Structure 1
């Protein structure tokens, strides 16, 4: 799939240039239009691959977006307000001053438009019927992924299921969040049975049945529909298609992309489609981990550092959950073939290893230039599904052995002891949430977790400090406003019929 993307972007660009020519009385013959393009299987495949390429847009999974969400959570600090994530963290964002808010809305509709166009046009192509069914299923899966932030972040947006038509769609009002959720689940339910279990060859990276079920589980988890979320996650587990990669650190190595834990990822390729995480996480230290997340890692005996006899304040990083050193750089640890020194990561004292290409014991010949990283971002992985199942099943029915079994698999791979049995539902909830925070640290998901748990108003209000306990910033979160984003002002300018979320004015 990756080899074709450059050509396909050109195709999509040509199609896009034709959209504004509808008022002309002549039909252009020197470019593709929607009327003259959709002729062959290759055209359909090209358009579908371009729909996948929308995942790489800034605001979705491109331009460092997922990891930057860490800096709007208690896990990290963004010293230069890149993307406006400090505006989010400080609670000073509005409909106009934060590019992250604008980019997510824009990128979602870019992808939706591409998916809708394929679904509207593909039936006119004479091609293998089974392949046509699969292409439609892939497009529906992707449309669900693109609608997800419009439901989850903005609490509703125009629900568009037809191919782009500015004249008809420019004044559409916002649909409710519930309407978007219904459509997302409908698309996933229709896509899942038509998608293959696995692919081979150049089709690696496309949506599978497991991806549709895993994404459905995530959506239902975020919606608080516990029994349904547990059932969807259990279907992925019972499929026996995915297993945990044995080495947590190596799970994110470039050479291990697409391993048995990866269910679905955003596919990058140098030099056409890249991101800048190597520089942002390492040299620039733009995503600077905070002491709060470092201190949250338990000691190796499974106890918090506040109660574990293994914890030594004079050597605070010894005898800790191995995922600490696998995820972050701490003073005295090895990274890039050398020991990490004080001052090497000046913002908070820490850096992030996960989602860089660098290894602990190898000194890189060159530092990766900004914007030249091609490490795929893993959107869905099996550990997340196990934790989704554990949380949803505990919320739906309380503690049970299957919940413990799912947690134990994740902790066993990490080299951590089992969670004690016999916990109450509330105590097990606390351990599950902690396990999600640690297992998925550095991946941008905690930003969404604290919002759905409604803990952001506690976790994102107050001062933050570096490892020397020096204050570096103050966070603010207004629970009456900040659990949803504003509709971008540029979107309202283009469509005055869009109603702004009430807490952000008109």
Structure 2
């Protein structure tokens, strides 16, 4: 089955769409038109709703790649695996490469071997989202005037845009200067049948970004119409107008379309009901519940989800410091020491991590005793609270943030500065919500961009976004002075090094007739450790 081979081998995905694929043909092989399929959806709205729910169920999966890998992996749990791998590739989420740390291959970049489990998980998870999105998009007429159908179509288009936006940044360097370089195969609802038989080549960076912008812009228009028709999202797991604008703001920022990025971030702030946490709210562990007022979009986790009942095969098991999980035995996750030391003592976020003595001013006596009892190293994160704020909780049902309103202010600040707009948005945001004594006097665009990068590293730490900043800003992976406990993990990989790109998995090269070994990103040697600072 070629291209879809890797996706359809995921048992959960095949199960989710057993009831959807039968829309494609009528008895005797007659083709069903898009209009007929949409009418079927409208007559059976539960079918369309199930298709949309399948997209967001895909974000939270228990070992969805076990069949494809031929093994059970405790770092295989849907999109949060992507977050975990990319954060470990970077410079700010520090951890000890030991027997309990499931991100060791991403720490030392052996995940770039195209037979690695991580390479397969990364590719499968994002193309599985695309597959589910295509199954929602295909049956709905693009020109539908039914508000409910518009809403469903917008969910599919926005999810597809999100997935390709991740892929294009992982498999090729930043947009500007690389538009004609190969990115990833484009599989849509329109070409999936042909691709399944004939394969699909790597599209260019320009082609992928064109699809992304078309999809997310269409989703914005559809969500506006659906909203006017009285249809809105049920909860924050779904896209609404603000999240769609926020996603397009990310895309435009990455493309260095500063005017558009600033405008979209401004629209996202205006459309969302989310507001930043303030000085008296950000000074305690949180980031566990989608109801938190600064969350725009996230993954909702239920106590009955298999990732939760597994106990430890979930994101917070690896990331959390207060709850029961792998973090207790691996030594947890620390912040880059140099970055921590750059944070002002008057910034409430400094308490999101313990200090050199293992203490955080943000913690209650019980919370501090919990951290002490686990014996974590200095600079350990205490940003992410345990489920229901119960110390040493073994029920790891934390919701996972995918977009917070604070990010929109930082996108707006960077884009305005790069467009000649100065530093007022940056200074206003940080001084109002994070550090009352904050000041930043430079009006130089490049210097403001660098300061926004530092602020993003602090604000969005551990939320699966830092790697994409490294790639879009063409930064090196310089871990010197970061406090990495293993000398073998201290690297200074220059920007543009081929090693920074992920490689298409070997199984996909074999299964896709339109790809061969020469079409893959080049194999690069694992990095050589350097002397620490």
Q: State the TM-score, normalizing by the size of structure 2.
A: 0.73
Deviation of 1:154 (Å): 1.0
Deviation of 1:136 (Å): 0.6
Q: Does 1:382 align with 2:405?
A: yes
Flag the 1:94–1:206 CA change in 2: closer, same or farther, 3 A.
closer
Deviations 1:326-347 (A, max 9, x none): 3557613346715359975667
Equivalence for 1:208: 240
Q: Does 1:322 align with 2:348?
A: yes
Deviation of 1:250 (Å): 5.7
1:25-40 alignment runs, 5 A limit: 40=44
The whole-number CA distance in structure 1 between the counterparts of 2:471 and 2:136 is 34
State the secondary structure of the residue aligned to 2:383: coil
Consecutive unaligned residues of structure 1, counting only runs of 5 or more, are: 1-8, 28-33, 301-320
Q: 1:113 aligns with which of 109, 112, 131?
A: 131
Q: Does 1:297 align with 2:322?
A: no
Equivalence for 2:472: 452
State the secondary structure of the residue aligned to 1:206: coil
Flag the 1:236–1:81 CA change in 2: closer, same or farther, 3 A.
farther
Q: Does 1:130 align with 2:147?
A: yes
Choose 477-486 or 338-347, whichever is displaced more. Answer: 338-347
Consecutive unaligned residues of structure 2, counting only runs of 5 or more, are: 1-10, 30-36, 65-75, 173-182, 309-313, 322-327, 525-533
The whole-number CA distance in structure 2 between the counterparts of 1:294 and 1:245 is 20
Flag the 1:444–1:416 CA change in 2: closer, same or farther, 3 A.
farther
Equivalence for 2:97: 79
Deviations 1:30-77 (A, max 9, x none): xxxx99x95601111011110122222577964554245332221112
Deviation of 1:182 (Å): 0.7
Tell me if structure 1 keeps the 8 A contact 2:232–2:240.
Answer: no
Tell me if structure 2 keeps the 8 A contact 1:229–1:389.
Answer: yes
The whole-number CA distance in structure 2 between the counterparts of 1:133 and 1:18 is 18
Tell me if structure 1 keeps the 8 A contact 2:358–2:377.
Answer: no
Q: Does 1:252 align with 2:286?
A: yes
Equivalence for 2:393: 368
State the secondary structure of the residue aligned to 2:514: coil
Flag the 1:251–1:387 CA change in 2: closer, same or farther, 3 A.
farther
1:18-417 alignment runs, 5 A limit: 40-57=44-61, 62-75=79-92, 76-80=94-98, 85-123=103-141, 129-155=146-172, 156-162=183-189, 164-165=192-193, 168-169=196-197, 171-195=199-223, 202-239=234-271, 241-246=273-278, 247-249=281-283, 252-254=286-288, 256-272=289-305, 274=307, 276-280=314-318, 281-282=320-321, 283-284=328-329, 285-300=331-346, 321-328=347-354, 331-333=358-360, 334=363, 337-339=366-368, 348-357=377-386, 364=391, 367-369=392-394, 372-399=395-422, 403-417=423-437
State the secondary structure of the residue aligned to 2:114: coil
Tell me if structure 1 keeps the 8 A contact 2:501–2:521.
Answer: no
Q: Does 1:492 align with 2:494?
A: no
RMSD: 3.8
Deviation of 1:153 (Å): 0.5
State the secondary structure of the residue aligned to 1:482: helix
Flag the 1:495–1:328 CA change in 2: closer, same or farther, 3 A.
farther
Equivalence for 1:30: none
Q: State the TM-score, normalizing by the size of structure 1.
A: 0.77
Deviation of 1:170 (Å): 5.2
Deviation of 1:497 (Å): 2.4
Equivalence for 1:474: 490
Deviation of 1:411 (Å): 3.5
The whole-number CA distance in structure 2 between the counterparts of 1:65 and 1:78 is 19
The whole-number CA distance in structure 2 between the counterparts of 1:465 and 1:114 is 41
Flag the 1:442–1:93 CA change in 2: closer, same or farther, 3 A.
closer
Equivalence for 1:306: none
List structure 1 segments (4+ residues) > 6 angstroms apart after TM superposition.
17-20, 81-84, 197-201
